[in-house]
Structure formats: structure tokens, C-alpha cells
Amino acid sequence: MCLHFETVTAKNRGAVERLALLPEQAGFIESPTECLREADASDFWRPVGIYDGTELVGFAMYGYLPFLGEGQLWFDRLLIDKAFQGRGYAKAAIAALLERLRQEYPCRRVYLSVYGDNAAAIHLYQQAGFSFNGDYDTKGERVMVLDFPETGPAET
């Protein structure tokens, strides 16, 4: 597996919009088309295609929302195409995206939201270190947070 991320542009947008979920996952996440419309309407969101080499396997969207509290960094969307599920892509993409967010933003905390009945996603996010904070977002999803570890000078 050789994961990397590419910004969604006119060149890859059609392929990203064709990504699909399994029928039982419908309703847990907006379609890529809906996500991209949201990103088009706001400079806060960063939509990216998830690639294994040259193969598009998924989509993610993240962004910093300065108007929430003191400002919040959100890992807002993650979708692995139904043809690529069960191969470890979601777990690897979360780890790689979290590292990207840690380096790209000065924030120490990352937020996401998930429907309470989406057990598979909850388990995946908990494995990555996220935990529920007791809050709900505007759509009734439960909010999870992850605090990045302190990164100080290495001890000798």
C-alpha cells in the first residue's frame, strides 16, 4: 500500500464523485458530490482524493473552522470506495491524514462527528485515538476528539 493524497481539482473531480459506499452505509456520510459542493461554497474545507499509487480508493475532507469556539480543526469526511473496503485503507488513511493535519495546522486537537449507530466507524476512530466528548454536532452526530501528543525535543 502506497497511500497519498491529491487535492480534488477539475481533473480528478469526476472520479471522486463516482466513489460509492455499500448500501448499508448509506446515510452515514454525504455523497462525494454533496461534500464537494460544500467545499466549493467555503474556503474552510480541503477535499482530497485518497490514492494507492495511481488508483483512487477514497475521499476525505478536512478543515479549520475559525468561527467555532477558539477555532477547531475538523477531520470531517472519510469515504473508502466499496470496491476497496476491507483492505485496511481506512485505517491507513486516518493515520496518514492525522499526520498531515498535525503538520499542516498548529492545532493540538482534532474533531470529527459520527452517527451513534455507525459502529464500524466508531470502532475505527477509537482505534486511532479519538474519544467522545459528550457533544453533538448540528446534525445530531456525536462529536469525537483526538489530542495530538506533545512533540518536544528528543531526550538523549
* Residues 144 and 114 sit within 8 Å (Cβ to Cβ): yes
* 100: Cβ contacts below 8 Å, ≥ 6 apart: 5
Task: Return d(Cα 5, Cα 50) in angstroms, integer.
Answer: 5
Catalytic residue annotation:
125
Task: Return d(Cα 139, Cα 94) in angstroms, integer.
Answer: 22
